[in-house]
Amino acid sequence: MKYTNPVISGFYPDPSICRVNEDYYLVNSSFGYFPGVPIFHSRDLINWDQTGHCLTRESQLTLTKKDWNQWNAIGFTGIFAPTLRYHQGRFYMITTNVGASQNFIVWAEQPEGPWSDPIDLDWGGIDPSLLFDEDGKVYITGTATNEESMGIYQAEVDLETGSLLTERRNIWQGTGGRFPEGPHLYRIHNKYYLLIAEGGTEYGHMVTIAKSDEPYGPFESCPHNPILTHRSTESPIQAIGHADLVQAHDGSWWTVFLGIRPVGYPYRHHLGRETFLAPVTWTEEGWPIIGQNGQVALEMEAPSFAQTPQQMDKRSRFVRDDFDAQELGFQWNFLRTPHESSWSLQERPGWLTLYGMEASLNEQDTSSFLGRRQQNFECEVSVLLEFDPVDEGEEAGLTVFMNESAHYEIAVTRMNGKKTLIFRRRIGSLWKVEQEAEYDRSAIVLGIKASKQSYTFSFAQPEGEATEFGKGESSYLSTEAVGGFTGVYFGMYATGNGTRSKTPAYFDYFEYRSL
């Protein structure tokens, strides 16, 4: 039986995995989106269902402008590279909130939560990881700080207090690639293995490994490093790296890692870095081989214990949310930690209510936004919006959002004293309303149809035929064009464009369908 990569599509980067008996759990980075750190469950490594988030409360994760340093934009701040581990009945998730310059741990007895409040760590750098050793010691491994020489650093840590029990030590510098990062230390075959990423999370990305008899080294580099890379190849999967190993319950070995699926020439990718899976074998000398001599494919042989053919993720095939539940589904994210007064499922039952904040989508601040990842190149999205703006500048609509300087939207606003439908594009420093038309009805259906190359925007009266209203290229929303580490979202939003809006924007449903 075959499976298809990626096993989790869309913006789900930096995967980390652990196994508990025959259950597998996986987490991803979430950057400036809230809730933080999505967590998935699988029984076969190829079919994954999201079971929640690790960071769901403001006491766990605050993503507001006052906490930031120079990393302000949504794709550069927030939660970087979590690691998930299980030990003696507890799940531990360790990560970095880059905007707050803080590494921390949360724990839970069940992966669905509740997760604890953070235990702040006396630890710098990013990409922290944990090893629970057989002698009871716990090691924290991560990257260098800005003041340290490049390399991977390690110390013993007290998980109850977050304090270090030993000094930080530089244990390996990698194989010469830039940005040695994403480390994981394992104890396998009575050896300590240090797995890291090098080359930067771009087209030179790679995974390298070293081993030692002792946790602090000296480490011997694998003779066939890098053990995973697609640099300078024509593979449809590029930039692969940031891996984590897991031994399956049948004894086989596997790795999860990030990768991208670029389109066009030169390459551009806009879905973000996704989660991929590949088998691992071991040489007689005790070195891992990933996939086919360090390369992987879109279609690969499934684990022997997989009994159910791979199902397209429910969230990426078709989903319609009528907002009838008391809580939001796991697919939804806010831009940063939301203001409680900016949204509601109870004000008008069966509808999502958004109140526009002062911030618009252009600003590095908390705006009224609720969105989900684009997980398919070809897909369509539609919402039914009821919105009657009273004050000039009040606005609500549907956006394709990469970051504050790269987004397209179709929206209803009050412009020059009239209720107006607009289509607008923001590309870097360029900002323009491309289309506008008076619209005097209360309800409107807004739609987006995506292809690999473009997004087409439309509107319709309820039960009416759609009218095309604008178009934008996907390449201008790509990482190569605008930077950052995230992927495209489809989002509902509202804004007062400088003042807090008094008029509610009501969304009856949100529908996502792959094509």
* Half-sphere exposure (Cβ direction) of 349: Cα atoms closer than 13 Å: 2
- Among 73, 86, 3, 94, residue whose Cα is nearest residue 31: 73
Determine which helix (DSSP H) or strand (DSSP E) holds 482, and give its type and residue range.
helix 479-482
Bond prior to 6 in cis (omega within 30° of 0): yes
Q: What is the pLDDT of residue 135?
A: 96
- Look at phi and psi of residue 42 and say left if phi exceeds 0, alpha if psi is from -120 to 50, else beta: beta
Confidence at 249, pLDDT banded by 50, 70, 90: very high
Q: What is the pLDDT of residue 64?
A: 75
CATH number, span 2-311: 2.115.10.20
Stretch(es) of the chain classified as CATH 2.60.120.200: 315-514
Stretch(es) of the chain classified as CATH 2.115.10.20: 2-311
Q: What is the pLDDT of residue 311?
A: 80
Here the tokens at position 496 are: 């007062």
Q: What is the pLDDT of residues 275-325, one digit of tens each?
A: 999 999 999 999 999 999 999 999 999 999 998 888 865 556 789 999 999
- Among 230, 225, 207, residue whose Cα is nearest residue 283: 225
Q: What is the pLDDT of residue 70?
A: 44
Note if 213 is an active site residue: no
Average pLDDT, the chain: 96
Nearest-angstrom CA–CA distance, 120 and 193 = 26
Confidence at 101, pLDDT banded by 50, 70, 90: confident
Q: What is the pLDDT of residues 42-93, one digit of tens each?
A: 999 999 999 999 999 999 999 976 544 445 688 889 999 999 999 999 999 9
376, 460, 352, 452: CA torsion to nearest 10: 10
Nearest-angstrom CA–CA distance, 127 and 490 = 28
Nearest-angstrom CA–CA distance, 121 and 93 = 12
Nearest-angstrom CA–CA distance, 157 and 144 = 17
Nearest-angstrom CA–CA distance, 84 and 153 = 19
| Catalytic-labelled residue, pool 181, 198, 313, 386 | 181
237, 19, 135, 208: CA torsion to nearest 10: -10
β-partners of residue 425 are 408, 432
CATH of 315-514, one of 3.10.690.10, 2.40.128.20, 2.60.120.200, 3.40.50.720: 2.60.120.200
Largest CA distance in the chain: 76
Note if 386 is an active site residue: no
β-partners of residue 169 are 154
Average pLDDT over residues 96-113: 95
* pLDDT of 460 above 90: yes
Determine which helix (DSSP H) or strand (DSSP E) holds 247, and give its type and residue range.
strand 238-247
The reported pTM is 0.97
* pLDDT of 177 above 90: yes
